[in-house]
Amino acid sequence: MPVTVSAVVPVYNEEGAAVQVAREIATEFSKRFGSGFEILFIDDASTDDTHGRLVAAQADIPGLRVLRHQNNVGKSGAMRTGFFAARGDVVVTLDGDGQNPAADAARMVEILKGAPADVGMVAGQRRNRQDSASKKWASRWANGIRKAMLNDKADDTGCGLKALRRDVFLRLPYFDQMHRYLPSLVTREGFEILFEPVDDRLRTTGHSKYTNIGRLAVALSDLPGVMWLNRRLRQPGKVSESGH
């Protein structure tokens, strides 16, 4: 059965969660997509045994592929590697810490597959977030500023669950931390976005790779660049071909 759906999971030092995440994705996706899916874990130069445990699990997890970076490049770089390697025309991203339910990922894929061609992405928006009060505050502050400046209609760009058409993602300009601006970048290319409520689970292993100060610094430093990108785009409208 040809692969039509790819799950891309960037991981860095997630030896305690990665294999369980892969098993959950395989279980949920096999129910909905048969054997027409693949699971790509992008190990972003982990220093623990994340890579070894994933490789060992390939023997009994269908469709599991493990790609490893020589150098750590961050979440956006790992996502980019996954989209380039993906064979499905629809790609859904999940975080590797176990906080994103695979059932929500599969549901978002089905929504995108059934949506009109001008819908480029289905973005998850977390309900009942399992984070500290300070982390929630920093997220609301950064999301509020970004939403006001970019008018991207997204309340939660930090959610790791996003389903995109692969060809849409490959059109987007790449830069570090671009994953925080996917709604604006997808809209920039002329595509619509659907927002779906998703569940958020408590992290049980490892620790977050981000700090509140780090999130705010990125929000302030990258926002002017994304605004510049949006201003500099000129859309040609409908493209038609005549003759051969």
Residues near 150 by Cβ (< 8 Å), separated by ≥ 6?
181, 183, 184, 223, 226, 227, 230
Domain 5-232 CATH class label = alpha beta
The tally of CA atoms less than 13 A away on the side-chain side of residue 136 is 9
* Residue 1 pLDDT: 82
Please name the amino acid found at residue 51: H
* Ordered per-residue pLDDT tens for the chain, 244 residues: 899 999 999 999 999 999 999 999 999 999 999 999 999 999 999 999 999 999 999 999 999 999 999 999 999 999 999 999 999 999 999 999 999 999 999 999 999 999 999 999 999 998 876 555 656 555 665 666 666 667 777 778 889 999 999 999 999 999 999 999 999 999 999 999 999 999 998 877 766 655 556 666 666 678 888 888 888 888 888 888 988 6
Task: For residues 87 and 162, give the distance between their C-alpha atoms in angstroms, rounded to a whole number.
Answer: 17
pLDDT 10s digits, 100-111: 999 999 999 999
Q: Where are the domains of the chain?
A: 5-232
pLDDT at 113: 98
User: CA-CA distance, 149 to 112, in Å (whole number)?
Assistant: 27
pLDDT given at position 183: 93
Rg of the chain in Å (alpha carbons): 18
Which pLDDT does position 127 carry in this prediction? 82
- pLDDT of 197 reads 95
Buried b (16+ CB within 10 A) or exposed e, 52-90: ebbeebeeebebbbbbbbeeebbbbbbbbbbbeebebeb
Sheet with 37-43, edge to edge strand ranges: 64-68, 37-43, 5-11, 90-93, 162-165, 119-127, 192-199
Segment 152-207, tens digit of pLDDT: 777 788 899 999 999 999 999 999 999 999 999 999 999 999 999 999 988 777 66
Whether 187 and 152 have beta carbons less than 8 Å apart is answered as: yes
